[in-house]
Structure 1
Amino acid sequence: MTYSKYKFTKYKKQNGLSFFKQLCLLVFIMTFNNIVHSQNSKKFVSPLQTGHYTPGFLSIRDFADPAPASGIIVLDYNIYQYGDKFYNSTGDQLNQIGNVKLDSNLKGYINNPFLLYASKKKILGATYFGGVSVPYVTVNTNLAYSRIGTITGDEKNGNVSGKVSGFSDLNVLPLYLSWSKSSYNITAGYMFYAPTGKFELGGDDNTGLGYWSNIFQTFGYWYPQKIEDKPSKALAVMLGASYELTGKIKDSDVNIGDRFSLDYGIEQYLNEKFSVGIYGGNNWQVSKDKGSQVYWDNTVKDRLGIVGIQLAYWLLPNRLQAVGKWGFSYGAIERYQQNSVQINLVFITGALSNSN
């Protein structure tokens, strides 16, 4: 968050599940991964679980030292996601299950406001910042399919559709410390997600993931550019690492695997107000899903890569910034394709800036 001027499948146990219920296992979307996907039996957890943290959705400098800004800072992330392809355990697009052909159209919107506080005084030589967020998600799903043979009952129209909306899981950032020099910046911190969003095992209208996550992060920024032989932060090269420890899913004996993520990007200010950047990220499941209710092949670990472009402009210098992002995913394993369009807003309120 540099705000200063120019600083700058193998599913093992499907007996007894109809084709319709098997299809519903696929009806989900990765919204900032703050929503639980449809689950189709009260006895089973969906095998298509992911972590809370997804790389590539924060703006490139969001984990940089916020100084000289201090006090209350408001960030508002507006994320629209869409996708129509699911990739299986071998990375191949899945077009049908048995004799059921899939034609999916999945889309969702997240409004994710953050309320942050940044200290003016240094702690161990670092700027302290922390905050809290409760995202609101809206997901629309439409899975159209054709089936050889007779289609009866609720399946006869050949479409599965639905809409889910509501508050998702509480995200708290209690401790982040950022050390900054003229040519580099290192930020380390800890965040957690609490399962406050609606969750019921087997529910099809869940807005939370149903488990706790503890996430440890380190971000590094390098500023290689000089202007008139003086150090400048107009050009920033970012690399970040995140490790997510996942908890047991509510009312089940399933603990999904831990995740490791990389964020990376490069951003260049072209003048004092306008910057352009390229960002990316990768997310890997690094440990097996565990528990007596894991009925799928837990040797398969999901993964996803994301890449995109970013444009940022200070609408009010050092006070209000708008960031536009467009990105897409690649290299998906046991994940849906993700395309995303974002508008992120940063508002430096000035409140409490003189009290720390």
Structure 2
Amino acid sequence: MKISITKALVLSVLMIGFTFQVQAQETPKFASPLQTGHYIPGIISIRDFADPAPASGLVLLDYNIFLSGDKYFNKNGEEVTEFESPTGADIALNPDVSGYINNPVLMWVAKQKVLGATFLTGISIAYNTVNADIAYNRSGIIEGSNQEGSSNSNVSGFSDFNVMPVYLSWGLKEFDITAGYMFYAPTGEYTPGGNNNTGLGYWSNIFQVFTYYYPMKVKGETSKALAVMFAPTYEIIGKIKDVEVVPGNRLSLDYGVDMYFTEKLSVGVFGGNNWQVGNDTGSGVYWDGSIKDKNGIVGGQVGYWLWTNRLQAIGKFGSTYGSKQRLKQNYFQINLTFMTNALTGNKAAKTSSSK
């Protein structure tokens, strides 16, 4: 049975739309106090980082992600619906944010082993479309200035560029272990306080370890039909450009169980959590930088090989829970994986053997 090796790490469209324009007449523009980091758990499919061997060559991916959110939860995990403004008037918070991400990914899987592992490398860049309509009073959401207003924006454009220089995947008898490093470059549109941002405005360095356990036995031999996945991710975040703000580093967990019922059909359940573990720092932090947001996600997926071992489609649905200082979001995905069989190294191997 061929195992897919899809990979797509994308921005949270909901947070991009939820920027809260903050501008003062005699001061520079401010950064948004709502930061998610580049890595969002639950977006990847369960077996994306399983050892792809013996597959090799170029792999083309297309992730289609539809997101929506209409509830905001404060630092205490309480849903916020209205505030009392500094003037004493009640102001409703009415977030209505929806978005679509198309994230094409190009990956290459080496045929030769490196340190006994399969070597993977790749690049990706997402195109985001966001519709956001928000009325707010900042003092009721974030510890900081007493500002109120509304934001209505329809934004689209390319997000930040993602590079995966090296991932190594070891295929063991009952386990697969994949470790790697990636970074995001702030190539997307970003202006502090802007309402047309499609990027996050900072560099991220991300380190990951994915572990897969295959507990099923068939005639005494390990079967990969059933996979249990657990993966921590640590993200180191750089300074936001044009402002003196460094968002706190983040820790994420992905986990899931996926079962093949036939050689083509698989069904799985997944979860994920994302925590801010470091304080927001810098002279541009006008909110309480010690307040840390968090978010959880749970959902299910169904995969089917439309073309055996060449083209796979995965449908996913997920919903967040336990949110603090974050929007609650729902999303639906259609992920496509195409094994091109290009640049596999097989031709070179045949030429060599014939001499």
- Select which of 164, 167, 186 maps to 1:195: 186
Equivalent in the alignment of 1:171? 162
Alpha-carbon distance, 1:271 to partner: 0.4
- Quick one: distance in 2 between partners of 1:145 and 1:188? 42
| % same residue | 55
Q: Does 1:70 align with 2:56?
A: yes
Note closer, same or farther for the CA distance 1:262–1:4 as it changes in structure 2 (3 Å cut): closer
TM-score, reference length from structure 1: 0.86
Is 2:221 aligned against 1:233?
no
Structure-2 separation of matches of 1:32 and 1:269: 33
Tell me what 1:141 maps to. 132
CA distance in 2, matches of 1:172, 1:231: 34
- Give 1:115-126 correspondences, 5 Å limit: 115-126=106-117
Distance 1:32 1:114, change over 3 A: farther
Query: Could you tell me how far apart the structure 2 residues matched to 1:207 and 1:30 are?
Result: 10
Distance 1:262 1:241 in 2: 5
Give, in angstroms, the shift of residue 159 of structure 1. Answer: 7.3
Cα distance in 2 for residues equivalent to 1:110 and 1:242: 22
1:51-88 CA-to-partner distances (Å, cap 9, x unmatched) read 00010000000011111110000111111110110000
Flag the 1:125–1:33 CA change in 2: closer, same or farther, 3 A.
farther
**TM-score, normalised with respect to structure 2:** 0.86
**What residue is the counterpart of 1:248 in the other structure?**
239
Counterpart contact for 2:74–2:80, Cα < 8 Å: yes
**Which residue does the alignment assign to 2:205?**
214
SS in 2 for 1:103: coil
Q: What SS is found at the alignment partner of 1:69?
A: coil
Q: CA RMSD in A?
A: 2.0
State whether residues 225 and 234 of structure 1, in contact with CA within 8 Å, keep that contact through their aligned partners in structure 2.
Answer: yes
Match of 1:55 in 2: 41
Tell me what 2:281 maps to: 290
Does structure 1 conserve the Cα–Cα contact (< 8 Å) formed by 2:17 and 2:132? no
Shift in Å, 1:228: 2.5
Moved more, 137-146 or 96-105: 137-146
Preserved CA contact (<8 Å) 1:34 1:168: no
Number of residue equivalences: 321
SS in 1 for 2:79: coil
Question: For 1:1-356, what aligned pairs fall within 5 Å after superposition?
Answer: 3-4=2-3, 30-31=12-13, 37-41=19-23, 42-98=28-84, 99-143=90-134, 160-354=151-345
Aligned partner of 1:15 in structure 2 is none
- For 2:17 and 2:204, the matched residues in 1 are separated by 14
Quick check: 2:59–2:337 contact (8 Å CA) kept in 1?
yes
Letter in 2 for 1:112: N
Q: Is the CA contact 2:246–2:280 (under 8 Å) kept in the aligned structure 1?
A: yes
> How far off is 1:105 after superposition?
1.4
The whole-number CA distance in structure 2 between the counterparts of 1:33 and 1:196 is: 17
Stretches of structure 2 lacking an aligned partner (at least 5 in a row) = 5-10, 85-89, 138-148, 350-355
| CA displacement 1:3-27 (0-9 Å, x = unmatched) | 449xxxxxxxxxxxxxxxxxxxxxx
Cα distance change, pair 34–320 in 1 and its aligned pair in 2 (3 A): farther
Given the superposition, is the C-alpha separation of residues 92 and 178 from structure 1 closer, same or farther in structure 2, using an over 3 Å criterion?
Answer: same
Match of 2:87 in 1: none
